[in-house]
């Protein structure tokens, strides 16, 4: 009577302690390798991925398990808005397209699906919210500093003004 080696699959006698082909140790009475379990197919909602990326850029990628890509899409959108607004919109639209197509590919089985990391999604939303608030505050401070001019009060008599005009305009 023979059994198969768990390492290489070769047929070995029932009483063998090592495989004759690869030399792997065999447990006594082990029936051989267990059949490989098929990975469970994880379905992703394409609508949820698309809406998530539309509401918070990069959230659709985090929903699909691509956490780093989600942060990159978020930061790319943020920096794009600060540059000229149009690059931010382009990155945001790409993020929505990417989230939708990746969810579709996961559902088709062409790329492996990953479970939705709920904790990562929650942390991502909180970080994105805080970064967005901080960015808006910084932009508000920059805008107010650009349009606010320091108030300088000059106290001169009429003689000082006319002599200054003489110096400047040669009157």
Q: What pLDDT is recorded for position 54? A: 92
pLDDT class of 157 with cuts at 50, 70, 90: low
Q: Establish if 86 belongs to a structural domain.
A: yes
Higher-pLDDT residue of 161, 103: 103
Which of 14-18, 63-67, 84-88, 157-161 is the least confident region? 157-161
Token look-up 């994105």 returns 128
If one counts the domains in the chain, the total is 1
The pLDDT tens digits of the residues spanning 1-57 come to 677 787 777 787 878 777 777 777 777 655 544 444 455 677 888 999 999 999 999
- How many Cα atoms sit within 13 Å of 161 on the Cβ side? 5
Residue 13, both tokens: 């006698």
Q: Establish if 94 belongs to a structural domain.
A: yes
Higher-pLDDT residue of 150, 160: 150
Q: Which domain holds residue 105?
A: 46-147
Q: What pLDDT is recorded for position 82? A: 83
Share of the chain above pLDDT 90, in %: 31
Q: Establish if 118 belongs to a structural domain.
A: yes
Q: What sections of 84-117 are H helices per DSSP?
A: 86-108
Q: Establish if 38 belongs to a structural domain.
A: no
- Between CA 45 and CA 64 the distance in angstroms is 9
The pLDDT tens digits of the residues spanning 93-104 come to 999 999 999 999
What is the chain's mean pLDDT, rounded? 80
* 117 neighbors 67 (Cβ within 8 angstroms): yes
Sign of the torsion formed by the C-alpha atoms of 62, 65, 69 and 72: positive
Q: Establish if 160 belongs to a structural domain.
A: no
Q: Establish if 153 belongs to a structural domain.
A: no
Q: Establish if 8 belongs to a structural domain.
A: no
Burial of 120 from C-beta contacts in 10 A (0-12 / 13-18 / 19+)? middle
Hey, how many other C-beta atoms are within 10 angstroms of the C-beta on 156? 10
Q: Establish if 170 belongs to a structural domain.
A: no
The pLDDT tens digits of the residues spanning 109-142 come to 888 888 878 888 899 999 999 998 998 898 889 8
């Amino acid at each position: 009577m023979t059994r198969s080696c768990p390492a290489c699959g070769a047929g070995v006698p029932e009483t063998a302690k090592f495989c004759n082909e690869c030399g792997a140790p065999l447990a006594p009475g082990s029936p051989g390798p267990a059949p490989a379990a098929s990975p469970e197919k994880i379905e992703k909602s394409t609508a949820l991925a698309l809406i998530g990326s539309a509401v918070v850029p990069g959230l659709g990628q985090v929903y699909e398990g691509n956490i780093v890509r989600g942060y990159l899409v978020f930061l790319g959108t943020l920096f794009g808005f600060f540059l000229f607004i149009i690059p931010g919109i382009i990155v945001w639209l790409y993020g929505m397209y990417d989230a939708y197509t990746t969810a579709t590919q996961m559902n088709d089985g062409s790329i492996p699906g990953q479970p939705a990391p709920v904790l990562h999604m929650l942390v991502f939303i909180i970080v994105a919210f805080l970064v967005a608030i901080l960015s808006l505050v910084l932009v508000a401070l920059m805008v107010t500093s650009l349009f606010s001019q320091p108030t300088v009060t000059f106290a001169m008599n009429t003689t000082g003004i006319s002599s200054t005009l003489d110096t400047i305009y040669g009157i």
